[in-house]
Amino acid sequence: MTNNPKLLLIGADGQVGQELRQTLVNLGEVIPLTRQQIDLSQGEILRQTIRDLKPQGIVNAAAYTAVDQAEKEPDLAQAINGIAPQIMAEVAQELGAWLLHISTDYVFDGTKSTPYLDSDSPHPLSVYGQSKLAGEMGIQGAMDNYLILRTAWVYGLYGKGNFVKTMLRLGQSREEIRVVADQIGSPTAALDIATAISALCPQLEEGKIKGIYHFTNSGVASWFDFAVAIFEEAKAINIPLKIKQVIPITTADYPTPAIRPSYSVLSGQKVSQTLGYYPPYWRDSLRKILKLGQNHELF
């Protein structure tokens, strides 16, 4: 990469953002912006902030991720997920900078039965998915040197709103939990996403890669499978739990405001060739993250 480039990390307080603070430092001077420091719904402030900082590269790990709440707040979801990334792209193009933006499996409708390729046509079912697709399209229309990294089912050590932390909290207070078993995807550790991004950024800067890539941990699971694995792995390292039974239910048994894709597995073939390695198997990463969380008293 350029000698000690200035890298702007937007969403530095999120699950992936907090991991990126640590993995990006080897690439240059990281300028972290948190939700408290920049309001992505204020487009002109965002535009001026990036112009003033003049980064050589931007990593956008920020998003409006409250999938069900987005159905009630479509304008806010669109401002943060749709309009803000386009503004980042427009300013990056002005500055001659590159942009790496994180997107989602929820741009697809889940009607396939084989892993989604980056070339497959998106068809989002929810306001959240629609807003994320708008962001992708805004970036593609505004600049040349971009990489959109779609990922899925993200969890990690940081932040409070992820499936692993929710299951552990419930498992410590309940003997029985009901979990949806007919939605299939790939649980993905934030640390693995951050590690991949840090490997992709130099190639993006050098113009070796661009466009849309998919990255998740390897393997597939239902939310029910994921929950069972969380409890099994947690018990194996003596995280105290009260849970005795996980009961599989259908999506129809647990209606939500936002419609979710029933199958949203993303193909990792293209990104694996670019990175030179296959992403870790999801259960191996889960085991690693649980141990790290236990060691740092985060669970």
Question: Of the residues 64, 128, 158, 263, which is catalytic?
Answer: 128
**Longest Cα separation, the chain:** 57
Nearest to 159 by CA among 189, 195, 202, 116: 189
Nearest to 84 by CA among 95, 69, 99, 66: 99
Please say if 128 is a catalytic residue: yes
Strands 211-214 and 146-151: parallel
Q: Report how far residue 93's alpha carbon sits from residue 139's, in angstroms, rounded to the nearest whole number.
A: 10
Nearest to 200 by CA among 150, 270, 274: 274
Report in angstroms the alpha-carbon separations of 69 from 64, 87, 122: 9, 24, 22
Residues tagged active-site: 128
